[in-house]
Copies of this chain bind each other. A is one copy, B any other.
Amino acid sequence: MKTGLPGRILNDMRTDIIREVYPIGSRLPSERELSQKYDASRFAVREAIAVLAQGGFVETHPQSGTYVRDFFKFGSLDTLVQVLRVRRAIDRQTLESLLNFRHITETTAAAEAALRITEDESEHLSENLERKKSHLGDIAALSECDFDFHHTIIGISGNTISRLVFQSFKPIYSFFTDFFYSIKGVPEASLKLNVKLLAALTHHDAAASRRAMEDTLKFGEKKVYEAIKGGGSVILLDR
């Protein structure tokens, strides 16, 4: 993510906070102690702490110390993404929320996009699927195509908020798609559904686009739920 010394300290400390090495409410070691631990100057540590504070992970109390905040309660969407990125695991409720959220926003976006799509945009999506078709074995490429495909459609729909929210998930998007596309037969089946969706969009058919997006997402949801069936309350996202 971030490079440089303060960046590494930042990542390390954030990981420690998320992994509850420093539990919520606890006091972090003093800046001087941390600078010793990381064999760095106090300023490298201070930069890291400043970013953590901005991100809502800690709050500093002058002349007292730096304390871990309840970032789950007060955090933003970015916070959740960062937590998932470090944990590489997601609890069932959050996963369901995520799939449900996508369903709601993206079916609406597809219907709206059908009314607004231009030829250039249609062409872009077509190229995206061509690329997907020629990389059916390359999971990383498929993941990238998938993100771009959905991101583009939401962009065409014109809803800035939905687009930014979707964009916020980019850092962890591949956690899901890498898993998804590694299931036998999925790349082909997914491509077929995407093609159908693109056709509906190109024909400016809002209702059909909504249905096609619904089918696309439902297919993904089905595969995910099949895979985690009987699993615990926490689903690992490790590839």
Residues A76 and B160 in contact in the complex (CB < 8 Å), given A6-B50, A105-B105: no
Selecting from A94-102, A124-132, A140-148, the interface stretch reads: A94-102
Give the residue among A55, A159, A161 with the most B Cβ atoms within 10 A.
A161
Complex Cα distance, B154 from A104, in Å, reads 14
The 3 closest A-B pairs by CB, nearest first: A101-B161, A97-B160, A97-B159
Count of chain A residues near B, Cβ 8 A = 35
Query: Chain copies in the assembly?
Result: 2
Question: Contact: B167 with A93, CB < 8 Å?
Answer: no
Q: Which residues of A contact B (CB under 8 A)?
A: 2, 6, 43, 46-47, 50-51, 53-55, 74-80, 93-94, 97-98, 100-101, 104-105, 108, 158-162, 164-165, 167-168
Q: Which of B47, B77, B104 contacts A105 (CB 8 A)?
A: B104
Report B-chain residues with C-beta under 8 Å of the C-beta of A43: 43, 46
| Residue among B76, B80, B100, B161 making CB contact with A98, cutoff 8 Å | B161
Q: List 27 A-B contacts (CB under 8 A).
A: A2-B53, A6-B50, A43-B43, A50-B50, A51-B51, A51-B54, A76-B167, A76-B168, A77-B161, A77-B168, A79-B164, A80-B160, A80-B161, A80-B164, A93-B158, A93-B160, A94-B161, A97-B160, A97-B161, A97-B162, A98-B160, A98-B161, A100-B159, A100-B161, A101-B162, A105-B105, A165-B165
